[in-house]
Amino acid sequence: MNRFPAFIDLKDRNVLIIGGGDEALRKARLVIAAGTVPTMIWSAIDVGLRAELGDRARIIEAAPVPADFKGAALAFIAIEDAPTAADLAQVARRAGALVNVVDRPELCDFTTPSIIDRGRLTVAISTDGAAPVLAKKLRTDIEALLPPRTGALADFADRYRGAVKSNIAQADRRRFWEAFFAGPIAAQVLSGDEAGAHDAMVATLNRPQTEQRAGVVHIVGAGPGDPDLLTIKALRLLQNADVILYDRLVSDEILALARRDADRFYVGKAKADHAVPQEEIEARMIALARAGNNVVRLKGGDPFVFGRGGEELETLRAAGVSVFVTPGITAATGCAAATGMALTHRDFAQAVTFVTGHAKGDAEPDLDWQALADLKNTLVVYMGVGKASQIAGRLIDHGRAASTPVAVIENGTRADQISIKGTLSDLLALIDAAGITGPALLVIGEVAALADAQSLNDIIAQERNVA
C-alpha cells in the first residue's frame, strides 16, 4: 500500500478548484457529490461548466491569488500550464491544503480513486496511478456485484442497529447480521419494498431467537445460454447462493459463474426424462428455504415464459417461503438477436406470438390453428421440433401460405448454435437435413427470411462436399 485511503467529511470545509475546463468540472462533480460547495477560480471559466454547476459551486472568474487558498482543506489544480500548476500547488500547500494536481502524480498529496457511489456505501479503488484503466475496469466489475439499492440497505441496517442491540445477545449479533444480509428482508429492501421489509424486520426482532432463521428462494432466468446474456442481478444472486437448483437448459458456462461452494442440484427436464418430478423440485426448495438457505432456482431463458416459473412461485408463496423472481432473456429474443432477425421488423410483422408446440405422445399441440394462421404475423414456437410436421401442416390447412418463410435455431446464442431457414412446406425436411436434436425454436413468418441461416440447398451442398 503506497497511499493511505481515508474518507474525508467535506461538509462545511473549503474546497478549492483552480481551473475552468473539463478537468475542473470533473473534480467539481466529485466533491459536490460528497456534499460540499467548492470554490472554483480561474481567469477563463467554461460557459458549459457554469451552466451545469449553477449555484452548486462558487465561481470566481479571475486569476487566483495566494489569499484565495487560506483555510482550504483540499485544493485541486486543474489547469494546463505546467509551471503555473506547480507554483500554485506550492502556494496551496503552504496555506495548509492537501493538493491534487491533475495528471501530475509527483505533485499530489492525494489522488482521487475510482469511486462506486451507493449513498452511504462508498467503494474507492486506487492503483496509485500505476494503471488508472485497470482501476476503472475493476470498478465496473465490482459495480456489477453491488445492487443499486445497496446504499438504502446500509441505511436500513443503520436504522435497526439499536433495536438489534437490545433484542439480540451480543454473541449472536454477528450471525444475525450475516443472515440478515443474505436473507429475505435484505432482498426485499433491494427490490424496493422498504415498507414490507420494515414489517418483516419488526416481526423477526420480536421472534424468539431460538427459532430457525428464514431462507429465501430466487427464481432466476439464466437466459438462452450465452453467459454474457445473464442479467447483472442474476450473476449477483448466483454468487451469493447457498444452493442452486438448475434445469437442463442452463449451460455449464453459466454454472461456472456461481459461488464455488454453493451446492448444485440438477433437476433435469429433458422432455421425456424429468430427472426430478415438479412436485419434488418444489418440495425440495421449500425444505431448503426453511432450513435457512439462500436458494437460487435457475431456469433457462425467462422463468415466466414456458418455464413453469409461475407454478413454482405460487407453491412457494402458499408455503410461506419468501420468493423473488428475476427475469431472463427468453429464447425468442436471444435467437432473434443471434441471427439478426427482428421479430417485429416494421416491413413484415406487426406482432409476434409465442406458443408452445409441446404435446403428450402422438397428440397434436392444442393450439387455435385458425387464429394463428390468420394472424400473418411472426409466430415463435417453443418446444416445437418434435411436432414440426403437424404444426406446418395445420397452419397450411388453415390458410397460411406453404411458401411462408421459416427459421429453426438450435442452441441459440451458444457456441454450437445451428440456424437454418426455408419455407413452411420444407420445415420437416430442413430439421431432418440439419439433424436438429437439441433445444430449438421455430420461427414462422416473413421475418424468418431475414435470419442469418443456412438454406436447405446450403445443407445439401455441404453434405455433398463432406462426402
Question: Which positions touch ligand SAH (CB under 6 A)?
Answer: 224-225, 249, 299-302, 305-307, 330-331, 335, 382-383, 409-414, 439-441
Q: In the bound complex, what is the minimum distance in angstroms from residue 334's beta carbon to ligand SAH?
A: 6
Question: Long-range contacts for 248-251 (Cβ within 8 Å, ≥24 apart)?
Answer: 248/275, 248/300, 249/222, 249/225, 249/299, 249/300, 249/301, 249/439, 250/222, 250/298, 250/299, 250/300, 251/222, 251/225, 251/226, 251/227, 251/414
Q: In the bound complex, what is the minimum distance in angstroms from residue 33's beta carbon to ligand SAH?
A: 39
Terminal-residue alpha carbon distance, the chain: 64
- Return the biggest CA–CA distance within the chain: 90
The number of beta carbons lying within 10 Å of the beta carbon of residue 184 is: 25
φ, ψ at 340 (rounded to 5°): 65, 35
- 30 Rama sector, left if φ>0, alpha if ψ -120 to 50, beta otherwise: alpha
The number of beta carbons lying within 10 Å of the beta carbon of residue 412 is: 26
C-alpha–C-alpha distance, residues 282 and 321, integer Å: 11
Q: In the bound complex, what is the minimum distance in angstroms from residue 352's beta carbon to ligand SAH?
A: 14
C-alpha–C-alpha distance, residues 83 and 103, integer Å: 13
Q: Which residue is nearest to ligand SAH (CB)?
A: 301
Q: Which is nearer to ligand SAH, 127 or 353 (CB)?
A: 353
Q: In the bound complex, what is the minimum distance in angstroms from residue 301's beta carbon to ligand SAH?
A: 2
C-alpha–C-alpha distance, residues 183 and 179, integer Å: 6
Q: Which is nearer to ligand SAH, 160 or 382 (CB)?
A: 382
Q: In the bound complex, what is the minimum distance in angstroms from residue 278's beta carbon to ligand SAH?
A: 14
Q: In the bound complex, what is the minimum distance in angstroms from residue 222's beta carbon to ligand SAH?
A: 9
Q: In the bound complex, what is the minimum distance in angstroms from residue 179's beta carbon to ligand SAH?
A: 31
Q: Which is nearer to ligand SAH, 302 or 426 (CB)?
A: 302
Cell of 28: 467539481
Catalytic (active site) residue 247: yes
Q: Which is nearer to ligand SAH, 188 or 419 (CB)?
A: 419
**Cβ pair 330, 340 in contact under 8 A:** no
User: Which residue among 68, 226, 242, 247 is the active-site one?
Assistant: 247
> Which residues in 156-308 belong to E strands, given as ranges?
216-221, 243-246, 263-266, 294-299
For residue 220, the cross-strand partners are 298, 326
Residue type, 172: D
C-alpha–C-alpha distance, residues 448 and 311, integer Å: 32
Q: Tell me if residue 210 falls in helix, strand or coil.
A: coil
Q: Which is nearer to ligand SAH, 28 or 217 (CB)?
A: 217
Catalytic (active site) residue 271: no
DSSP 98-145: EEEETT-GGG-S--PPEEEEETTEEEEE--TTS-HHHHHHHHHHHHHH
User: Which residue among 27, 226, 233, 269 is the active-site one?
Assistant: 269
Q: In the bound complex, what is the minimum distance in angstroms from residue 75's beta carbon to ligand SAH?
A: 56
Q: Which of 228, 210, 193 is nearest to 415 (CA)?
A: 228
Q: Which is nearer to ligand SAH, 334 or 393 (CB)?
A: 334
C-alpha–C-alpha distance, residues 69 and 95, integer Å: 6
Q: Which is nearer to ligand SAH, 238 or 305 (CB)?
A: 305
Q: Which is nearer to ligand SAH, 433 or 441 (CB)?
A: 441
Q: In the bound complex, what is the minimum distance in angstroms from residue 311's beta carbon to ligand SAH?
A: 13
Q: What is the 3-state secondary structure (H, E, C) of 329-355?
A: CCHHHHHHHHHCCCCCCCCCCCCEEEE
Residue positions annotated with a catalytic role: 247, 269
